[in-house]
Amino acid sequence: MIPRRALSALLLPATAAAQEPAFPARPVTLLVGFAPGGGTDILARLLAARLAEEFGQPVAVENRTGGGGTIAALATARARPDGHTATLGTVSNMVQVPLAMRTPPFDPAREVTPIALVAAVPMVVTVPAASPARDLAGFIALAKAQPGRLNFASNGVGTSQHLAAELFMQATGVRMVHVPYRGSGQVVMDLAQGVVDVNFDTLSSVLPGIRQGLLRGLAVTTARRAAALPELPTVVESGVPGYDLDVWYMLYGPAGLAEPVLRRWSAAATRVLAEPTLQARLRESGFDPAGGTPDEAASLVRAEIARYGEAIRRAGIQLD
């Protein structure tokens, strides 16, 4: 016979597990590392409404800006791994910016858990509607005639927007001045008013301004044209060979996310992203809906860490 005290000890782990509340037990916070109005914020709010229905709990989008988006990423890395705090991260704040930092606040390979790839989107080389540049070749000629006088905006040092412009300058030989912002919303407004001269930003961020006639798109950064703006040529078609960049968006949780919670998140994201209504809304906003398993998401992250680590080293980008 097992002594009563020993029997009680044996039962403790099972009892504790039984008392652990199932996810989600309370409202969920979805962090966004950029200011309201940009592509990440737009996508997060479209997702949050549907995820709330899937979870049976409110899903609140919370913007925590700064550090090129890494403040939100760090908050997720430090959160309890119970699923109630996640982030909608991008290749920018979850891969590129920490790789560019001398002392990154979190390890993108170890301190967060990829849950599911949500969407991808091309970037668009965009100028104010009043710009004299009518196409990309015209902009290159304009920039070369004024070396170091034109400026470009980004969401911060080391972000996708910054890297896109740096790689463009390397490929074309133009020189421009970098003006970092905290998010795309303010960038688009300043670009429309001519405060900045050019922007390499996501299609979802600049599409409304292009449609309203406030901005002029010159080219898309991917190898293929964008369905939402089929008349715009690619950068390659415009005479810059080998230029091919996009931005992806991914749901992340903290490292050590419990397997049942990871499965619950992944299943919810898969169902939401498969809905024709949401897919139509995403495509209308310029996004290409994705999906997939946590393993597929983690594999993409590993490949991108290797790819952009080399690109950042070549460009000499470093954040203190």
Interatomic CA distance for residues 261 and 263, integer angstroms: 5
| Nearest-5° Cα angle at 35, 182 to 57 | 145
Cα–Cα dist 128/149, whole Å: 16
User: Can you tell me the distance from the alpha carbon of 220 to that of 228, in angstroms, rounded to the nearest whole number?
Assistant: 11
Q: Is the pLDDT of residue 7 over 50?
A: no
Residue 128 Cα distances to 195, 196, 197, 219, angstroms: 9, 8, 7, 14
Look-up of token digits 């946590």? 294
Domain 27-120+247-315 matching CATH 1.10.540.10: the answer reads: no
Question: What pLDDT score does 20 carry?
Answer: 53
Identify each DSSP E strand in the chain by its residue range.
28-32, 59-63, 85-90, 112-128, 151-154, 177-180, 198-202, 215-220, 246-254, 288-289
143, amino acid identity: A
> In 67-155, which ranges are continuous DSSP H helix?
70-78, 91, 97-100, 136-145
Cβ partners under 8 Å of residue 206, min gap 6:
124, 126, 184, 188, 199, 215, 217
Compare 246 and 318 and report the one with higher pLDDT.
246
β-sheet bridge partners, residue 122: 246
Tokens matching residue 23: 């996810």
Burial status of residue 143 (CB atoms within 10 A of its CB: 0-12, 13-18, 19 or more) = buried
pLDDT digits (tens, 9 = 90+) for 182-234: 888 899 999 999 999 999 999 988 999 999 999 999 999 999 999 889 999 99
Ranges of H-type helices in 20-108: 39-55, 70-78, 91, 97-100
Q: Which CATH number fits domain 122-220: 3.40.50.300, 3.40.30.10, 3.40.50.720, 3.40.190.10?
A: 3.40.190.10
Look at residue 10 in the predicted model and tell me its pLDDT: 47
Rounded distance between C-alpha atoms, residue 80 and residue 257, angstroms: 8
Digit-coded pLDDT (tens) for 62-116: 999 988 899 999 999 999 999 999 999 999 999 999 999 989 999 999 999 999 9
The ranges of the chain annotated as CATH 3.40.190.10 are 122-220
Tell whether omega for the bond before 230 is within 30 degrees of 0, i.e. cis: no
Say what the pLDDT of residue 43 is.
93
pTM value is 0.80
Record the tokens describing residue 102, joined without a space. 């001398």
Say whether 46 sits in a helix, a strand or coil.
helix
The boundaries of every CATH 3.40.190.150 domain in the chain are 27-120+247-315
Is 261 in contact with 82 (CB distance < 8 Å)?
yes
Average pLDDT rounded to a whole number, residues 23-48:
93
**pLDDT tops 60 at residue 280:** yes
